[in-house]
Chain A
Amino acid sequence: MTLPSQAFQDDSLDFKELKFFPDLPKRYKIDSVFKFASWAAVVIALSVLSILLIEVAIDGLSMINWQFLTSYPSRKPADAGILSPIVGTIWVMVLVALFSFPIGVGAGIFLEEFIADSFLENVIEVNIANLAAVPSIIYGLLGLQVFVRWLFPLTQGRTIISGALTLTLLVLPIIIIATREALRAVPGSMRQAGFALGATRWQVVRDIVFPQALPGILTGTILALSRGIGETAPLITIGALTYVAFLPPLSLEGLHSTFSVLPIQIFNWVSRPQQEFHLLAAGAIIVLMVLLLAMNGIAIYLRNRFQITR
C-alpha cells in the first residue's frame, strides 16, 4: 500500500493522478471486524486461563490450611504439606534476585550505554538473544557440570546455592534484554543534555538514564524471576531433591543445604497413583500462584513508586 504522503514526495509520480476514495462505511466495517477479532482473542485467552484456574481452585482450595502449609511432605496424603518446598522456593528466589539483578542490569547498562553500536555489542547481542531461547533443561545440564561438580568446593554439590546460580543463568538473558529495552526507551536528547552540561558518561548513566529506566528494569526483572520460580527441569537436572523434611538453617550454612522447590513437589504429586496426591498438587499450585502474584504485585508497587517520585 502506498501512503499518499509518500507518493507526494516521490517526483516520478504525479500526485494528481492518485485518487483517494474516502469509502468510510467500508473502512469502519473493517475497523469493527478487527475490533471483534481482538476481543475474541482476549476472551479466548482469558477463558482458557479461567477454566484452568477454576479447575485448580475447585480441586485445591479445600486442601489449603495451616497444616498443609506447615508440614513436611509425607507418604500419607492427610499428613502431607509443603513447608520445605515453600521455604526452598523462597530461598532460591531471593538468591536468584540478589545474583541476577546486579549482574543483569550491569551487563545491560554496559551494552546499551558504553559499547552501543560496536562490533562487540552486536556479537554479544546475538548471543544473548540466543541464550534467552535455550530450553531450560540445557541450563540444568550446564549447572550440574559447572556448579554441582566443578565448583563442588564452593557449592557443596546439589545445594541451594547451586540451584540459585543455575536459575540465575536462566533468567540473566531475559533481565539483560529487559534492561536494554528500558534504557533504549529513554530519549537520546536527555543523554545529550547531560553531556552538554559537561557530565561524564558514567554520570549521565547514573543520574539521568538509569533513574528514568528503573521502573522498566524492575518490571522486566520481576517478570524474569517469575519465570524462574516455575522452573522444574533445570532443578531436577542439577539434583534438587523431592523429599526433604528439614529446613535450611537461617544462616550462611543454609546456602549449602539440600533443598526442594514447589514445582518439583507438584510434579511428584501429580505423577503419584493416589487421587489424594493429585488434590494436594492442586493446592500446591495455588500456593505457587499466590507467590507469583505477590512477586508481580511487588513489581507493580516498585514501578509506581519510582514513577511517582520522578
Chain B
Amino acid sequence: MVFNIQPKQKVFLTSLAVVSLIATACAGNQTTTSQGTGNSASPAATTAPSNLSGSVLIDGSSTVFPISEAMAEEFQKANPNVKVTVGSSGTGGGFKKFCNDETDITGASRPIKPSEVELCKKNNIEYIELPVAFDGLTVVVNPKNEFAKCLTVPELKKMWEPAAQGKIKSWNQIRSDFPDQPLGLYGAGTDSGTYDYFTAAIVGKEGESRGDFTASEDDNVLVQGVASDVNGLAFFGFAYYVQNKEKVRAVAIDGGNGCVEPSAETISNGTYQPLSRPEFIYVKKKSLERPEVEAMAKFYINPANANLISEVGYVPLPADIEQRVAVRIAERKTGSVFEGKGSTTGVKLKDLL
C-alpha cells in the first residue's frame, strides 16, 4: 500500500499544484496589466453623493494617528469613492516614506528635522506644513503623592537632564521641602516624537536625557507604572491623562509665569508652556493637485470637524489659527515655519503663521 499514491490523494495533490501555479501565473500577469497606473483607483460610480474618487495615502506619527483615523472615517462617509488609508509608522518613519514619494500626507508630532528637510529636497518633494491640533504633554504623579502639586521647568530639568543619571534619586533633591522618598521616573521611548519634544522643552537639547528611567513606547504602560508607584512621575500625551484621571494626577507646570494646570483651554491658548505642542500634517505639494488630496487636507482644518479632534482626546486649533492654516493650503505655501529646526518650544503658533 505504501508504494502508490491513492487516486484520491493524487487528485488533491494535483489540484494543489494547479492552484499554486495559477496563483503565481496570475501574480505575473498582473504586472503587465496594471503597470504604471500608480494608484489602484476603481472606476468611479456615478451615483455617489460626491464625484471625488481616487486614493489618499496617509502615514506618520502614531500620536497623530487617532486624528487621521477620525478624519479618514468621516471623509470616506462623505466621499465613498475615495479610498483613504492611514498607517502609523511613527513621525520619523513617516517622513522617510513621505520624502521617498510613497505617501501623500504624513502626520508628525514635531516639526520636520534638518535631516528630513535634506531628504525631501534630494527627492524633490515639496510639502506644505499644516498644524492640525494641540497636544499638551502632561506630567503626572501618583494620586497619593501629596507634595508635588506644581513643578518648575528647572526642577523638571534637574530630574531629567543627563547629569542627573545615578545622582538624582530622591524627591528631596528636587526641592528641599519634598520628603526623602525615592524618585521613580517613567517616560516615552527614545524613538518617539514625544520624547524628542519633552527633552527639547525641559532639558534644552532634543534627544538628551538621563538614561536610567523606565521607558516605554506604549503610554498605557507608563500610566500603569505611575499608578502602582507612589513615588512615580511620568510624562505622556494629554489624551492618556484624560482617560486615566482616577489613576494618576496631573502636575501643574511653572514655565516662568506661575503654575498652570494642563487643560483643553490652557493648551489651546498657549498658556500651558512649554509643554503644549502642535501636531502637524505635512502634505505633498504634488499630491495637492489631485482634488481628493486637497479635499482631505482641507477636511483636517475645517472648523466643522474640530469636534472630531476633541473626540479623540486632542485640543482643536482656535478658529483664527485654523483660518491662517487654510490660507497656507490655498497659497500652496511650502516649507516649514520652524525652518527645519526640529522641536521648537515656547513659541506661539499664531506668531509663526
B219:A309 contact, CB within 8 angstroms: no
Q: Within 8 Å CB of B313, what residues of A?
A: 273-274
- Tell which of A102, A214, A236 touches B17, judged by Cβ atoms closer than 8 Å: A102
B72 at the interface (CB under 8 A from A): yes
User: Residue of A at shortest CB range from B97?
Assistant: A239
Give the docked Cα–Cα distance between A234 and B343 (Å).
29
Question: Is A298 interfacial (CB 8 A cutoff)?
Answer: no
Select which of B1, B9, B36, B84 is within 8 A of A306 by beta carbon: B9
B 17-69 contacts with A by CB, 8 A: 17, 19-20, 23-24, 26-27, 29-31, 34-36, 40, 42, 55, 57, 59, 62, 65-66, 68-69
Q: Are B65 and A310 in contact (CB under 8 A)?
A: no
- Candidates B4, B85, B220; contact of A241 at CB < 8 Å: B85
Would B2 and A310 count as touching, CB distance under 8 A?
yes
B31/A154 in contact, CB under 8 A: yes
Chain B contacts of A102 at CB under 8 A?
A: 17, 20
Q: Which of A76, A161, A207, A271 contacts B218 (CB 8 A)?
A: A271
Contact of A156 among B40, B68, B97 (CB under 8 A): B40
Whether B4 lies near A245 (C-beta < 8 A) is: no
Number of A-B residue pairs at CB separation under 8 A: 133
Q: How far is the CA of A257 from the CA of B34 in the complex (A)?
A: 12
Q: Chain B contacts of A99 at CB under 8 A?
A: 20, 23-24
Q: Is B167 an interface residue (CB 8 A)?
A: no
A57 to B159 CA separation, bound complex (whole angstroms): 41
**In this complex, what residue of A is CB-closest to B220?**
A271
Residues on the A chain within 8 Å of B23, using CB: 95, 98-99
B40 in contact with A272 (CB, 8 Å): no
Q: Which residues of B contact A257 (CB under 8 A)?
A: 40
Listed A/B pairs (23) with beta-carbon separation below 8 Å: A74-B73, A75-B69, A95-B23, A98-B19, A99-B20, A99-B23, A153-B31, A153-B35, A158-B102, A194-B3, A208-B2, A211-B9, A212-B2, A241-B86, A243-B84, A244-B85, A255-B27, A256-B40, A257-B40, A273-B242, A273-B313, A274-B313, A278-B220
Partner-B contacts on A (CB < 8 A) = 72-76, 95, 98-99, 101-102, 153-154, 156-159, 161, 190, 194, 206-208, 211-212, 214, 236, 239-246, 249, 252-253, 255-258, 268, 270-275, 278, 306, 309-310
Minimum-distance CB pairs A-B, first 8: A243-B86, A273-B243, A75-B70, A273-B240, A98-B23, A241-B87, A241-B85, A243-B69
Interface residues of B (CB under 8 A from A): 1-6, 8-9, 16-17, 19-20, 23-24, 26-27, 29-31, 34-36, 40, 42, 55, 57, 59, 62, 65-66, 68-70, 72-73, 76, 83-89, 97, 102, 217-220, 237, 239-240, 242-244, 308, 311-313
